[in-house]
Structure 1
Amino acid sequence: MLVTKITVQLPRGLQARNTTTFVYKARSFSSDVILTKRNDSSNGKEIMKVMDLNVNNGDEVTLYVNGVDEKISMDTLKNFLLNK
């Protein structure tokens, strides 16, 4: 399992379009993806659950990735949240 804390650098945070892109990327991997903000967590592969976290630009989130392709999954999702 890989774990990292990230300060989101998406201009609109994880609003509808960015959430859709994040979930699409997460679903492309077989690894489990969990996104947490403060004490709330959600399955990173479920659009409504991710939107419920209300992640804005500048918020700190923790990303947990576990599975056979966890390294590439973590790198891809981390880079997306860092707007790279």
Structure 2
Amino acid sequence: MLERRVIVGSSVGLHARPAALFVKAAAAQPVPVTIGVGDGEPVDARSLLSVMGLGARGGDEVVLRADGAEAEAALSALATVIATDHDA
């Protein structure tokens, strides 16, 4: 299992539009991905309610995990989405 730590770039955190963009990108990946905040329980990155329920704020560090042949590419793509401030 590969892991990537990323700082949330959105000023509003993973709420509403940024979360929806992230979930859409996660659903497009060929491997399952989870996301968690700190030592909290990771959730399915394809679930909008679960991702919003994390309460990740701008500047928080999140942990992405994926397993499989395409895991590295999936984590790179999703890290870019999380690190970008889509509200700017």
Q: Give yes or no for TM over 0.5.
A: yes
- How big is the alpha-carbon RMSD for the aligned residues of Structure 1 and Structure 2? 1.4
> 1:76: which partner in 2?
77
Deviation at 1:76, TM superposition (A): 0.7
Structure with the higher strand share, 1 or 2: 1
Poorly superposed stretches of 4+, deviation over 4 Å: none
Matched, 1:44 2:40: no
- Please name the residue that 1:3 is paired with: 3
Give the total of aligned pairs: 84
Task: Give the TM-score normalised by structure 1.
Answer: 0.90
What is the one-letter code of the residue matched to 2:72? K
CA offsets, 1:43-77, max 9 Å, x none?
Answer: 00111011100111011111101123212211110
**How many angstroms apart in 1 are the aligned matches of 2:37 and 2:66?**
15
- Aligned-pair identity in percent equals 25
Q: Following the alignment from structure 1 to structure 2, what is the Cα–Cα distance between the partners of residues 69 and 41?
A: 20
